Amino acid sequence: MAITKLSHVKERKSGNPNAGLYNCIDYILNPDKTEERYIGGNAGSTTQEVYNRMMATKQEFRKLDGRQCYHFIISFAPGETDAITCFNIAQDFCEKYLAGKYEYVFSVHTDHAHMHAHIVFNSVSLVDGVKYHYSDGQWKSNIQPITDQLCEKYGLKKLTYVPGKRKGVDYGTWREKKDPSGSQRLREAIDMAIAQSDSYEDFLSIMRKSYQVKIGFSQKWNSEYLSFKDFKTPVGRYRRNYVLGKSYTVASIQKRISLNKMEIPESLKRLPPHIRGFESSIGSGFRSANGLYLTQHQKRYMIQYWRLKNSERTVTSGTGNIREYSKEADRNLRDLQTVQDNKIRTVQDLSSRLDELNQMTDSIRRELRAIQSSREDSETENVISEYLSIQSAFANAAVPIEMEGKFENRLDEIEENYPIEELIHQKESNSKKEKQLQKEIKNLQQASRRLSKLKKIQKR
C-alpha cells in the first residue's frame, strides 16, 4: 500500500488559466473508472459542480492565479483491499488531513487490478483564504501520522510515500546543455571513482566502465596523462585529464587515492585535565601502565618533565615562578603525549610523520579544490538560492497574500527549466563534504604545527 503521488496543478500560461483544475476534476470523476458510484467529498459530485465551488472560493479571496489544486493518489496492491474500504480510507484521510478547511472531491478507480483512490482539493482555503503549500518533509511530519492511524484502523500495512516524478527538464539533458564539452561530467565521474578506489588500478578499472581510457606521456609536461571518451558519445573526441584542472593530473589523482587509506587525526592537542592521568599511567621507571616502555627519544621528554617538577617543588619564593615551572612541565608532558600518540619513537620518526601530515594536507586541499571547481555557475546558484528562499517563505507563512500566486508560478517555472531537486541535493552534498575537508585540513595543520614545534626543540 503506498501513496504514489503528491502533485499540484499549475496555472495555464495560455487560454483559460484555470483549465487545469477543470481537467483534473473531470479525470478523477470519469464514470468509466468510478462505476458512477465511488465518489465523495464536500464540493459536489459532478465536474462542473466541484469546479464552480472551488472557483467561487478563489474569486471570493481574489486568488485566481498560481497553483490551482492538489492531487493525491492512494494506491493498493492487487487484492489488498476492496473498493468500499478504499473509499472509506480516502474519506477518513480527507476529513482528518483537510479538516474542513478546503473543498475536496475524491473517487475510487476500479478499472485496474490495483485499487486506488484519487483526491483533489482546492489550493485556497474556504475558511480564511490561505493557500495550501506542500514542502519537503511534510509527509513525515503531517501526513504519515494520519495514514498510520488509518492503516491500523483498517488492518492494513503502513503507507509508504513514493514521490511522483516531477515534470520538467531531465538532469542529464540539462547538464549536456550547460556542459556541451562534458568536462564537468568527467570531473564528477573522476571524483566518484577516486572516492571508491583503494589504488590507482582500481580507479582505472572503475573509469573504464563508463569511458574509453587511454594512457599517454606528455613531452611538454614531462608526465603521464589520461584521455577519456564517454561510451555514450562515441563520435566525440578524447579529453585529457590535465585540461580539467590541477586536481585532475595523474599525480593529484594518485595522491587523492592514497588519502583514502590514511588516518586523519582528530586533534593532537590535549587539554590540561588529561595530563595528570597520563602522568600516573607512565609511572616510575619510564614505563606505562599498559606495559609500553618509552624509547630513548621519548625518555628525554619525561626526564625534562621530572626536572621541572622537581624545580617546582624546590622553589620557595615567588608564586609567579612556581606557575611558570608548572606550565613548562605540563607542556613537556603534552609533548610526550604527542610523540606517543603519533608512534614517534625516534628523531627520524618525527620528520617522517611531519612529512606525511604535510602530504595529507596537500592531498585534501586538492580534493577540496576539485569540489569547489564543480560548483554551478552564478546564474544556476542564484536560481537554487531563489527556489530555497521561496520554499522557506511558504513554510514560514512569510509570503504576502498578493504575491502567493506569483511565487507559486515562479517555483513551477524553475521546476520546468532546472533539475532543481538534483541540483539542491548536489549542492547540499558538496557543502557537507567541503566542511568535512576544511575540518580535516584544520586538524592536520594543527598537528603539523605541534610536530614542527617539537622538531625545532630537537635542534636546540
What's the confidence (pLDDT) of residue 459? 57
Which regions in the chain score pLDDT beneath 50?
A: 267-291
HSE-up of residue 348 (Cα within 13 Å, Cβ side) = 0
**Distance separating the N- and C-terminal Cα atoms of the chain:** 75
The reported pLDDT for the residue numbered 366 is 80
CB 270 within 8 A of CB 447: no
pLDDT at 289 (0 to 100): 41
- Going from N- to C-terminal start, the domains of the chain cover 2-161, 172-259, 273-331, 350-459
In angstroms, rounded to a whole number, what is the distance separating the alpha carbons of residues 105 and 67?
Answer: 17
Q: Are 257 and 200 in contact (CB under 8 A)?
A: yes
State the pLDDT at residue 359: 83
Q: Which phi and psi (to 5°) does residue 214 adopt?
A: -120, 145
Contact between 50 and 35 (Cβ < 8 Å): no
Residue 294 is predicted with a pLDDT of 61
Cut 0.75: pTM above it: no
pLDDT at 257: 85
The confidence score (pLDDT) of residue 90 equals 93
Quick one: pLDDT at residue 279?
A: 47
Q: Does domain 2-161 bear CATH number 3.30.930.30?
A: yes
